[in-house]
Amino acid sequence: MEIASMRNRPPWKGESCGARVPGSPMLPIAGGSKVARVSRPVVRKNPNYGPETQSTHRHEKSLADYRTRVAIGPAMSPINAFLSKNRLRIAENPCVSPDFCLDWENLAAKLKAGGAGTRKWSKSGFETAAGAWQLIEDAVTGDCAWLLAPRAGAKAATGLADGVSLEGAIQAFPATFDNLLRLKNLVQEHNPDSTIFPSAGAKLGQSTLGIGARFTTLHWPAVEWAMSALELGVTANQNSIPRELVYDVNAMLEGRLDTVPFPFIGTNVPEGHQGQSVEGMSHGCVLSKLKTGFHRRGIAWSFNADHQPIGGKFDNREDQLVAGCVLASYITFDLSPELAQTKVPEGAAAQRDYVQANVDTALVQQVKARVAGAGLQLNEEQFNALLCYVWPALRKMKVRDGKYRAAREQAFTTAAGRTYLRELSIDELPGLTTPETTAIMLAFCEIMGMPIHFIAPAFGFQKNMPYPDNAALRALIGKQWTVCQKFGASIGFHSGSGKSAENYQVMGQVTGGRLEIKTSGRYTYEMGVALFHSQNPADQALWRDWYRFTVELALQGAVSADATEQKMARVFITDALTRSGRPTDVFASPAATRAAVEALPPGPDHMFWFEYNFLFVLAAGGRAQKTALGDHTPAGYQQRARFYAISEEGRLNFAKGIARYIVFLAENTGLASAARCAAARTLLDRYTTMADFLADISR
C-alpha cells in the first residue's frame, strides 16, 4: 500500500488553516486542522459595551447586561431584542436572528388593522392539509408572517404558535424558526416531493455544485435563476459552521464565540465572521425560494452544513452544532480537529497492539475484505498506522452522526424531512490522498452504518488557482474514481473556485458527472465586479471603501513582523504588480510599497483585493484594523447593512455575474448541456432590470 508522506508547508494563499501540528504523524490524511482555533486575550475598549474588559473574544458582552438595558417582552428572544434595540432590522440585516420576525406584536397589529405597509409575496403560495399559505412581509422592517386560508373542513390546529385571527377566517403566524420547523412537517406530510425545503432528493447525492455563501445572502436569487434556467438542482446554501456562521446566537451575545486563525493576515478572527447565524441562513434560504416562486419549479435543492468539526475542542459544544444544523440536508464531516490531537503509538508493534486492543476484530476484518474486494492490496503495518490515527476520530464521527439523525427524527415526521447526505472531508490536510486511504475510510464508514455520498480527497488544489497540469489531474482523479465507484460514492472537489474550464472538464469527464464542486470565494469577487461597474454613486462609494480596506491590509501585512503575514501580503502585491506590467522590486521601504500599490488602477482583479475582501463585510466602521474584523457589535452589523443597500443596478450586475458563473460550472462539468447553457447566457444578456430577472425564476 502506497501512502504519501505529509509535507510541512506554509498556508496557501487565502488559506485559513494552521500549519501542521508539530509531532503529528506522517500519514496520508494527517495534518493541521482547518478549524483549529487559538484564543488570544484582547483588551478592547468598546463604546457600545461599556468599560474595558479582557476576554478571549474581541467583542465580549454579557447577556445579563443586554437584559438590564433592553426591555425584553415575553415573546422577544435576547437576539431579537439586541437587533431591535440597535435598529438592525431584517430588511437590511437578514439572517442574523433565527427568526424572520423580530417584533410580532407590531406586525400582528398591522395585519389586524388591514395590512397597510405590508407586502404579500404573490408567488409564495403553497398548500398543506390545513389550507392555502402565503408569505407576507412588513415593507419597512422585513418582519414576515405566514397567512393561512383554512381549507373547508380542515382541522383548525396547525401546530404553529402565536397565531392571530384576521378578517375572512384568515390566520396569521409569525415567521419564527420554531414555526418554520413545524411548517416543514405540514408541507412534507401533505406532499413528500415538495421542494420548498432543502432535501437529499433527486440526484443531489450524486452530482451537485456547492454554492457557498461566505459573504451576504444577496446571491440567492441568482442561484435560483440558474437552477431554474438549467433545470438543475444544486447545493444552494453552503457554509462552514462554526467558522463562517454564528453557531449559537446566545453564545455570540454572551461573548463565548471562539476565534479562527487566519495566518495570512497574522491574527485570529471571531467565529461567524459573516455575521449571520446558521438558523437564520437556513430560514432565509427557504423564504428566498418562496419569494421568487422557485418552489413552483419542483427542482430539489440542498443545504450543506460544511466542515462540521469532529472531536478535539468541539466535543463540548457538539449538541449546539447539531441543533443549529437541523435543517441541513447534507453534512460534511471534518475529522481534522480530532486528528490534530491524536497521538499515534511509535513503532509497528505498538501500533498493532493498539489496533488489537481498541478496534473490534470483526470490524477490522470486514474493512480489509471490503478494501480487497475493491481491488486494493493493503500493507499490514501501514494499515495499522493509519487506523491508530483515524480510529478516535471515526468513533466520534459515529457519535455525531447518531446525533444528527436523532435530531431530525425528533424534529421531523417524514422520511423526506429526516434524510440527509454525508460527505467525508480529507482534502485540506497536507499531502495527496492515496487510493488506499480513500478506500479504507469509505469502508469503515460504510460498515459502521455511515455510508458516504461524497468524499473529498486532497488533489493538491490551491484556493482560487487553476490546476497547472490537466494530464496529471486526470490521472489523480482517475485513481480516486476507481475506488469511489466501488463504494457508490462521488468525488467532492473542495477549494473548487477559480479553476480553469479545462480543469472542470477533466473533473466531469473522469467521474461521469458524479461529483461535487465546492465554490465560495468567487461570489464575493462577483460583488466587487458588480459594484466596480455600477454607475450608482452609492455603489461606487462602497466600492472605493472596500478597495481601500484591502489596500491597507496588504500594506500593513507587507511590513508585518509576522513572517507568514508578510510573505503572503508581498505575494499578493507582487502578483498584482506583475499582472499590471509594473516593477515588483517595491519592498525597500513602506513608502515605496505604498507608492507602488496606490499607483495601481483600482480593480477587483488584484490578488490582494481578492484575498482580503471577505473580511470587509463585518469590519466595524469598515476599518482595516485587526481588532475591527469579525465584529458582532452594532458597528459590525451597520457595516454589513451597507451591502444590503446597494442599488438595483448593483444587484442586477451581481445576479448576472453569479448566474453566469454557475452556468459556466454546469457546462464544463457536464451537469447541463451546452445548448441549455448557451440559451441561459442568451437570456441573461437580455435583462435590463432586476424585476425582469426575478420574474423568470418561477416561469
Classified as helix, coil or strand, 332 is: strand
Give the per-residue pLDDT at 8.
Answer: 28
Report the pLDDT averaged over residues 388-406.
Answer: 97
- Asked whether residue 1 carries a pLDDT value surpassing 50, the answer given is no
Residue type, 77: S
User: pTM for this structure?
Assistant: 0.89
pLDDT tens, position by position, 169-216 = 999 999 999 999 999 999 999 999 999 999 999 999 999 999 998 789
Contact 239, 245 (CB under 8 A): yes
Helices then strands, each counted (H, E), the chain: 25, 18
H/E element holding 319?
helix 318-324
**Whole-number Å distance between alpha carbons of 453 and 698:** 30
Classified as helix, coil or strand, 327 is: coil
**Whole-number Å distance between alpha carbons of 640 and 276:** 10
Confidence of residue 649 (pLDDT cuts 50, 70, 90): very high
Classified as helix, coil or strand, 83 is: helix
Confidence of residue 156 (pLDDT cuts 50, 70, 90): low
Per-residue cell: 670: 457536464
The distance of Cα 97 from the centroid of its chain, to the nearest Å, equals 17
Report the pLDDT averaged over residues 230-237.
Answer: 98
Report the pLDDT averaged over residues 77-104.
Answer: 98
Contact 160, 179 (CB under 8 A): yes
Identify the burial level of 122 via C-beta atoms within 10 angstroms of its C-beta, where 0-12 means exposed, 13-18 middle and 19 or more buried. Answer: exposed
Domain that residue 112 falls in = 57-190
Number of domains in the chain: 1
Question: Cα separations (Å) of 319 from 246, 324, 401, 406, 407?
Answer: 14, 9, 11, 11, 9
For residue 688, the tally of other CB atoms under 10 A from its CB is 10
Calculate what percentage of the chain has a pLDDT beyond 90: 85
Confidence of residue 157 (pLDDT cuts 50, 70, 90): low
Give the per-residue pLDDT at 16.
Answer: 34
Please provide the DSSP assignment of 666-699 as one string: HHHHTSS-HHHHHHHHHHHHH--SHHHHHHHHH-
Measured over the CA atoms of residue 138, residue 216, residue 604 and residue 597, the dihedral's sign is: positive
Residue 281 covered by a domain: no
Residue 246 DSSP symbol: B
Contact 340, 24 (CB under 8 A): yes
Contact 225, 234 (CB under 8 A): no
Residue 123 covered by a domain: yes
Q: Where are the alpha helices (DSSP H) in 488-558?
A: 501-511, 521-533, 537-558
Q: Which tops the pLDDT comparison, 37 or 618?
A: 618
- Asked whether residue 602 carries a pLDDT value surpassing 90, the answer given is yes
Buried b (16+ CB within 10 A) or exposed e, 446-466: bbbebebbbbbbbbbbebbbb
Residue 565 backbone phi and psi in degrees, to 5: -60, -45
Buried b (16+ CB within 10 A) or exposed e, 159-178: ebebbbebeeebbbbbbbbe
